[in-house]
Amino acid sequence: MILDVGDYAIPCGADWNGYGRKELLVGYQTASKVALYLNSGSDANPAFTPSVNLQAGGVYFYRNTNTDANPILDTWVHLTPQIWDVTQY
Ligand SMILES: [Ca+2]
């Protein structure tokens, strides 16, 4: 399986939706976004859906290089997705 999201792709595997199979999140520079590939297969034999770019509240993720009150969104960065289980269940 070949997945091509663009330049400087940085992958991260995690059970994003909590269904017990790992999805693939990829930060990439072409659009400076994070692509999510859902997995309908298994961890040993993944079947990834076409990607969607992650959003929160209808807004894509960007790095803010200024203040919260006066944000300047950097759209030319290498996004590095990392997933943490903050509840640690
Ligand atoms: Ca999953």
3-state SS string over the chain? CCCCCCCCCEEEEECCCCCCCCEEEEEECCCCEEEEECECCCCCCCCECCCEECEECCEECCEECCCCCCCCEECCCCCCCCCCCCCCC
Q: From the CA of 32, how far away is ligand 1's center (Å)?
A: 23
Domain positions in the chain = 10-82
pTM here is: 0.77
- pLDDT over threshold 80, residue 89: no
Ligand 1 is an ion; its neighbours by CB within 5 Å are 15, 17, 19, 21
- Which residue has better confidence, 45 or 1? 45
42 C-alpha to ligand 1 centroid (Å): 9
Q: Which of 1-10, 43-52, 79-88 has the lowest mean pLDDT?
A: 79-88
Distance 40 CA to ligand 1 centre (A): 8
**What are the pLDDT digits (tens) for 23-74?**
999 988 877 788 999 999 999 999 999 999 988 888 787 777 888 898 877 7
